[in-house]
């Protein structure tokens, strides 16, 4: 019985790690695309998770919700922050704190 429980725990840990890696790669691609679309420079080529939790989706099921942050510059001097909200592996919103005013990119508008 102990070997079975250990196997299940290892499998769950591997699944969680893989799922988090896919979500981070998605957020990284979305951040780069959002910066290109508004003609700003994506800095450091990285995103960092700032929030994680559970929430109900439109389908009524519980999903993991993550918010990633990233930095960009419009003039090469000042750093500004952006956020990407994911529900599961679905992009809910992208927000850039642009110096000329906040920019919110809805998932429909990006594609």
What confidence score (pLDDT) does residue 41 get? 95
The answer to whether the CB of 62 falls within 8 A of the CB of 56 is: yes
- pTM value is 0.85
Residue with tokens 């893989």: 18
Question: In the chain, how many domains are there?
Answer: 1
Judge whether residue 101 has pLDDT over 60: yes
The H or E element containing residue 21 is helix 2-37
Q: How many CB atoms lie within 10 A of CB 71?
A: 19
What confidence score (pLDDT) does residue 60 get? 87
- For 1-13, b/e burial (b = at least 16 CB within 10 A) is eeeeeeeeeeeee
Q: 109 falls in which pLDDT band (50, 70, 90)?
A: very low
Q: Domain span at residue 17?
A: 2-110
Q: 1 falls in which pLDDT band (50, 70, 90)?
A: low
What confidence score (pLDDT) does residue 110 get? 39
Mean pLDDT of 34-53: 95
């Amino acid at each position: 019985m102990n070997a079975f429980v250990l196997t299940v725990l290892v499998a769950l840990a591997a699944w969680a790690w893989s799922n988090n890696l896919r979500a981070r790669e998605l957020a990284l691609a979305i951040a780069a695309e959002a910066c290109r679309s508004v003609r700003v420079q994506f800095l450091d080529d990285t995103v960092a998770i700032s929030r994680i939790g559970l929430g109900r989706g439109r389908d009524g099921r519980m999903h993991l919700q993550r918010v990633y942050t990233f930095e960009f510059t419009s003039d090469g001097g000042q750093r500004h922050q952006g956020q990407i909200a994911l529900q599961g592996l679905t992009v809910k919103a992208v927000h850039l704190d642009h110096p000329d005013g906040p920019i919110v990119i809805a998932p429909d508008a990006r594609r």
